[in-house]
Structure 1
Amino acid sequence: MSDTLRQRAWEIAEQLAKAGGAQARLTAVPDGYRVELDLPRADNDHDHDTDGPDDHHAALNVLALGDRWGHCHSPPSRNGGTARETVWNEVHYDAAARPDR
């Protein structure tokens, strides 16, 4: 895969980690890279905006930098009373080669 694509994925991972206040994971997928960040939450934490290292708005802005993105939620009953959210972002080789990138 191209160095440009890998650099783009690392930049997204760094920005997502900063916005989420945790370490992001970068893994290779067949046509690019995937960045994931786990965001542990107290059961009622989803209703509160924050301005600190765990900033939902900043994380959403970073996710928009990728070619595909999403969110997974695991309820507190599966995680010892703490809801777990994972946001993910993918950058793909074909999308990075587009002239509008």
Structure 2
Amino acid sequence: MSEMLRQRAWEIAERLTRAGGGGEARLTVTPDGYRVELDILRPADGSPGPDDHRAVLDALALGDRWGHRYSPPSRNDGTARETVWSEVHHAPNDRADRADS
């Protein structure tokens, strides 16, 4: 994969780690790029966590695709589980596995 693509993914990971209120972002390789995930830590009492929401959103927006997963406390023994993710992908004409005509 290209160095530029990996640098974009690392930039997202670093920004998410700084903004995420104590969690560390995970970087994984996907078939056509990279995925960065961060578990958002929330206090058990439901009060707002220490994360900087705006900085998290700004970091996610650096990717080509992004999203959010939330599982309520009722499903997790009283603890909310929240993860944000962002992906960076090769442009279709940059993919090494594409068939040339």
Q: TM-score range by the shorter chain?
A: 0.7 to 0.9
Q: For this pair of structures, how many residues does the alignment match?
A: 91
User: Match for residue 46 of structure 2?
Assistant: 44
User: Match for residue 30 of structure 2?
Assistant: 29
User: Match for residue 77 of structure 1?
Assistant: 74
Residue 57 of structure 1 deviates from its aligned partner by 1.3
Ranges in structure 2 where 5+ consecutive residues have no aligned partner = 95-101
- Report which of the two has the higher share of helix: 1
Matched residue type, 1:14: E
Question: Percent same amino acid among aligned pairs?
Answer: 69
What's the Cα RMSD here? 1.8
Conservation of the 8 A alpha-carbon contact between 1:74 and 1:83? yes
Residue 40 of structure 1 deviates from its aligned partner by 2.7
Conservation of the 8 A alpha-carbon contact between 1:26 and 1:35? yes
Work out the CA distance in 1 between the residues paired with 2:91 and 2:58.
Answer: 22
Aligned residue for 2:40, secondary structure, equals strand
TM-score (norm 1): 0.81
Ranges in structure 1 where 5+ consecutive residues have no aligned partner = none
Aligned residue for 1:58, secondary structure, equals helix
Structure with the greater alpha carbon radius of gyration: 2
Name segments (4+ residues, structure 1) moved above 3 Å. none
